[in-house]
Amino acid sequence: MPPRTAPPEREIGSGQRVRYSLRRSARSIQRANSSRPARQKTITMKPVHSLLLFSVTLPLLGQCTNSTPANPLPLVCTTAPLPFYYVVGQNQILTASILVPTEGALYSVTTSSSYPLLATLLSTNSGATLSVSTNASGLNAGVYTGQITLAATNSFITFKQIMIPVVLTVNVFAQPNVKAIVNAADATGTLLGAPNTWMTLYGTNLAPPEHARSWQTSDFINNQMPTNLDGVSVSFGGASGYISYISPTQINVLTPPSGTALDEMQLTISLGAYSVTNCGSNPWPAVAVGGGCLSGISFDLESPAFFTFDGQHVAAEHADGSLIGPASLIPGQTAPAKPGEAIVLYGNGFGTTSIPIIPGSVSQSGALPSMPIVEIGGLGAAVQFAGSISPGLYQINVVVPASAIDGDNILSAIYDKMNTQPGVFLSVQH
């Protein structure tokens, strides 16, 4: 059975514990990217975010209107919103730089907003750069809107007007309190962290109050996974992790790929004006503003674990993509595996692959350098394939032993002398 590139999306885990799917990361990202609307023109934006330097594009929205019914040109178009994020206590001046396709035209610039908003246009032979800045000083938490209008003074150009909505989001962060960081696939919380591994942080004040969301299409810039969601970021030894979910009590993050263990590296969680650093010296948890320490966080080269649907039954599929589990697990969707059947298991934290992992890339694949040893009900299972199929998601193809008994069989694996978590089962039925 070859490695899969696009199995159907399935939720793994219950509640907010694991917000990853069986087509996790790259595959869901690929679908999201492919669904972006086609656009004839784009305005490329490279804002200097108050929290993050990033690059995105502002597509011209589909509802461009003619300036007069009789003349199909010029057009009046509106772009997607230009976002600014501000966290109270940070730099108050927010700036962005936008490349505008002027087609040799001259544009006048006007702004309208309930807060200070400045926009200036610098023209060159190849186009123009629109510099945008706003001062968030004195603003309360909330969402503020504005608009920039570019009006062409020439009559022959395609775009008579380009209107750019501006959305300023102001957040207030309280001091974070990180209570635990665990392998996201491990319900027992006993496994180590590792490179290219989905981890879950638990605590309080990990995001603005009542603010919870997963990553979305707009968070992926140049086919890179986001390292910052609305001011929340996590880094390991100075290398950014990739944030898939934030809430006041939980952060899901993919650790950066690395060829060495991370046990000596610092873990830094940044939330607005606050940061928490693991110095490895204080009792867990010890949290302070700008240089506090967290201890008890251990990392190794691998941290192999099986994703589960419910904390016990492994996230697995039949060859046809249907789910494996007791019939009662997800009625109408799950069915036990059969002895002798080739099935697919999904895991986390199995480490480096034959194809080097590009940090942040939405695509990831490659076989493990060696096969894990897998047992089902204490019986050895033949492993046909083991490797990464998307960021942080590993696929292991095995054959259920012919003599496996009916019912829940204990599932375990050993990889590079490390054991997967206890208490995971595979349902089997003749």
> Could you tell me which of 368, 361, 327, 362 has the C-alpha nearest to residue 347?
368
The residues near 126 (Cβ < 8 Å, ≥ 6 apart) are none
What is the reported pLDDT for 115? 86
Start-end ranges of CATH 2.60.40.10 in the chain?
36-171, 304-428
pLDDT at 68: 47
Q: Are 102 and 74 in contact (CB under 8 A)?
A: no
CA distance 268 to 232: 11
Can you tell me the distance from the alpha carbon of 418 to that of 399, in angstroms, rounded to the nearest whole number? 21
Whether residue 80 contacts residue 125, with contact meaning beta carbons closer than 8 Å, is answered with no
285: cis peptide before it, omega within 30°?
A: yes
Euclidean distance between CA atoms 208 and 231, whole angstroms? 9
Burial of residue 349 (CB within 10 Å: 0-12, 13-18, 19+) is: buried
Burial of 377 (0-12, 13-18, 19+ CB in 10 A): buried
- Dihedral sign computed on CA atoms, order 147, 148, 152, 156: negative
- Using CA atoms, how far apart are residues 147 and 174, in angstroms rounded to an integer? 31
Kindly report the number of other CB atoms within 10 A of residue 136's CB atom.
22
Cβ distance 221 to 196 under 8 Å? no
Backbone angles phi and psi of 219, in degrees to 5: -80, -15
Per-residue pLDDT of the chain (430 residues; tens, 9 = 90+): 656 543 433 434 333 333 334 433 322 222 222 222 222 233 332 222 222 222 334 555 444 554 444 544 456 677 778 877 776 766 567 777 776 665 666 778 889 998 888 888 876 666 677 888 888 878 888 889 999 888 877 665 556 777 888 888 887 666 677 777 788 998 677 667 788 999 988 888 788 777 789 998 888 988 899 998 887 888 877 788 999 999 988 999 999 987 544 444 566 767 655 565 554 433 333 333 333 344 445 678 889 999 999 999 999 999 999 999 999 999 999 999 999 999 999 999 999 999 999 999 999 999 999 999 999 999 999 999 999 999 999 999 999 999 999 999 999 999 999 999 999 999 999 9
Gap between the Cα atoms of 255 and 199, Å rounded:
7
pLDDT score for 188: 72
Tokens for 160, please give them: 């008579």
141 Cβ contact list (under 8 Å, min separation 6): 88, 170, 171, 172, 208
The CATH label, of 2.40.50.140, 3.20.20.70, 3.30.70.260, 2.60.40.10, for the domain at 36-171 is: 2.60.40.10
The per-residue pLDDT for 175 is: 65
Other CB atoms within 10 Å distance of the CB of residue 40: 10
Task: Give residue 146's Cα distance to chain centre.
Answer: 28
- Between the alpha carbon of residue 293 and those of residues 57, 250, 276, 391, the distances in Å are 38, 19, 6, 29
Q: How far apart are CA 213 and CA 426, in angstroms?
A: 31
pLDDT of 412: 97
Cβ–Cβ < 8 Å for 430, 34? no
Q: In this structure, what token pair is assigned to residue 405? A: 């008994």
Domain 304-428 -> CATH class: mainly beta
Residue 144 and residue 168 in contact, taking contact as beta carbons nearer than 8 Å: yes
Q: How far apart are CA 403 and CA 9, in angstroms?
A: 31
Reading phi first (left if > 0) and then psi (alpha if -120 to 50, else beta), residue 215 is in beta
Smallest CA-to-CA distance from 296 within 326, 263, 272 is with 263
Q: Enumerate helices (H) and strands (E) in the chain, giving the number of each.
A: 1, 35
CATH architecture, range 177-293: Sandwich (2.60)
The residue among 153, 37, 67 whose CA lies nearest residue 102 is 153
Nearest to 308 by CA among 328, 323, 327: 323
E-state strands within 265-355: 267-271, 274-277, 292-293, 305-306, 316-317, 323-324, 334-335, 342-348
Identify which of 24, 14, 6 has the alpha carbon closest to the alpha carbon of residue 321.
6
